[in-house]
Amino acid sequence: MRLPRVLLSACSSGSGKTLITCGLLQALKNRRIKTAAFKCGPDYIDPMFHEKVIGTGSANLDTFFTSPECVRYLLAENAAGCDLAVIEGVMGYYDGIAGVTQTASAYDLACVTETPVILLVNSAGMSGSLAACVKGFLEYEKDSRIRGVIFNQMSAMLYPRIKALVEERTGVRVLGYVPRVEECALDSRHLGLVLPQEIFALREKLDRLAHILEETLDIDGILALAREAAELHKPEDPLEIFLEGIHEKPAEKEPDRGAQVRIGVASDAAFCFFYKDNFRLLRGMGAQLVPFSPLADTVLPEDIDGLLLYGGYPELHAAELETNIRMRESIRSALAQGMPCMAECGGFMYLHEEMEDMEGRLHEMTGVIKGRAFRTERLSRFGYVTLQKHEKDVYGEVPAHEFHYFDSTNCGQAFSAKKPAGNRQWECMHADGRLLAGFPHLYYYGNPAVPWEFLKQCACYKKERAGRSV
């Protein structure tokens, strides 16, 4: 398929990738160009900002979680019917696993997807040295895939001279600049940017930024660069490959696939960290997803066969979660009766007997897991891990990701988590009966056996409920 595409990366974190990506997406939307948005890596929050702009879900592309073929499939699938794909990079362009590799870096993703790259360079405090900076990034790899440069925090007066210098000394195209736009800045908190709905007048900020970028960026040049991307060959659906490899009845491989179960998905301001493609895979396996709010609803949705509690910011809403006693009792009762549940990070914290808020105050939670979730002064565990279950393993290796300022007196010991580089590892996760819970975040395309086994348990629970009601 022909898919014009471009990846926006930077020399380092904090260079303005998300702000400029969102401004460009808004400018493209204003031009009525149907654009698909993506985020390199496991981040949850940046895609929320993309979604606010384009009006539909932004997807993650991660070369640690999935194979190159799966990455290309998800790029093609999520961009189907679009005129253009814009991918936001992660950290610095060459920053990968363990800090000294390029695995899972933005550069790695650009190579896997054959995507032209625009390097965003924060020019604050530099002038002529910008040419040296750009030249270094261009020459660090034989084919850096960097085809354009945008300068952030640059004045209109300086830009023409720097553009001429950089193009003369490096040969790369300079595609514009972004002036200081402090009125459009995005605020941060302990897990990254604040959520889009928390930013006052976000729509007005994005509209103003898009108007500025129309004046300062060569958007026609960016579109021309995107059209230079190689033809994208869409591999076979990874779900079909997975189903062909398991020994199930043929009927269970049809589109309505087997389980036909209803899964309650916690979804509100406290539980809001979702991978769009996790939902795609669950639906492809036959699940119907039913959103509910542990903050606002008093009981679980009727007639559900399983429960998903994803991450988010329960620590910011601990008092409200505690006050909603009926919901806590509803969840505790459902799990006690055998309802399957997968919970990760914030959802895992919610299942504890107690959880601290950001000020260290204790609040009662659902009480499904004995112990207390408490705040730490720094990141407890950070980055990619590989999970391996100790007993009765039906999963094999499971790629995962952790990023949290909280810990637990009862993290679980069903799995061993190992860093992909080095020897560091630790015990984690609860796998008690039909409960799978812990701090690691899972990307289901990384190992479809995890959601498949969960849905099989949900189907069993559905049959048990039906038997009890007869």
Pairing of strands 117-122, 5-10: parallel
Positive or negative torsion for Cα 48, 50, 53, 55: negative
- CB atoms near residue 382 (< 10 Å): 13
Q: What is the mean pLDDT of the chain?
A: 91
Phi, psi of 135, rounded to the nearest 5 degrees: -60, -40
| φ/ψ of residue 443, rounded to 5 | -110, 110
Residue with more model confidence, 54 or 185: 54
Query: Do 38 and 85 touch, CB atoms closer than 8 A?
Result: yes
CB contact burial 125-137 (16+ within 10 A = b; e otherwise) = ebeeebbebbeeb
Indicate if the pLDDT at residue 410 is higher than 80.
Answer: yes
Q: What confidence tens digit (pLDDT) does each residue in 194-239 have?
A: 666 665 567 788 888 999 999 999 999 999 999 999 999 989 999 9
Residue 93 CA to chain centroid, in angstroms? 18
Predicted local confidence at residue 193, as pLDDT: 54
Strand partners, 380: none
Give dist(CA 383, CA 13) in Å, integer. Answer: 15
Helix intervals (H) in 2-105: 17-30, 45-54, 68-78
Strand ranges inside 287-422, DSSP E = 287-292, 306-309, 311-312, 341-344, 352-356, 362-364, 369-375, 381-389, 398-404, 406-408, 415-418
Query: Which pLDDT band holds residue 311 (cuts at 50, 70, 90)?
Result: very high
Task: Say which residue the tokens 């399983």 belong to.
Answer: 306
Looking at residue 219, its pLDDT comes to 97
Q: How much of the chain exceeds pLDDT 70, in percent? A: 93
Give the mean model confidence (pLDDT) for residues 262-289: 96
Report pLDDT for 382.
Answer: 80
Whole-number pLDDT of residue 75: 98
Interval 54-79 mean pLDDT: 94
Catalytic residue among 345, 411, 428, 458: 345
Question: Which pLDDT value is given to residue 320?
Answer: 97
pLDDT at 235: 93
pLDDT confidence bin for 249, thresholds 50/70/90:
very low
Task: Give DSSP secondary structure letters for 208-246.
Answer: HHHHHHHHHB-HHHHHHHHTTSPPP-----HHHHHHHHS
Tokens of 328: 């806590």
pLDDT confidence bin for 250, thresholds 50/70/90: very low
Q: Is the pLDDT of residue 254 over 50?
A: no
Sheet holding 173-178, edge to edge: 59-61, 35-40, 84-88, 5-10, 117-122, 146-152, 173-178
* Pairing mode, strands 261-266 and 306-309: parallel
Helix (H, G, I), strand (E, B) or coil at 27: helix
> Residue 3 above 80 pLDDT?
yes
The token pair at 271 is 């539980």
Q: Is residue 186 scored above 60 in pLDDT?
A: no
At residue 72's C-alpha, the angle toward residues 69 and 73, to 5°, is 85
Q: Which tokens hold the place of 425? A: 């590892």
Q: Is 345 annotated in the active site? A: yes
Supply the pLDDT for residue 226.
Answer: 98
Give the confidence band of 259 by pLDDT, cuts at 50, 70, 90: very low
- Angstrom distance (rounded) from CA 110 to CA 101: 15
Max distance between CA atoms of the chain, in angstroms, equals: 80
pLDDT of residue 88: 96
Length of the chain: 470
Residue 455 binned pLDDT confidence (cut-offs 50, 70, 90):
very high
* Domains, in order of start, for the chain: 5-226 (3.40.50.300), 238-469 (3.40.50.880)
Q: Which residue carries 């891990």 as its tokens?
A: 385
**Percent helix / strand / coil, the chain, rounded to 5:** 35, 25, 40
The tens digit of pLDDT for each residue in 52-63 reads: 887 877 999 999
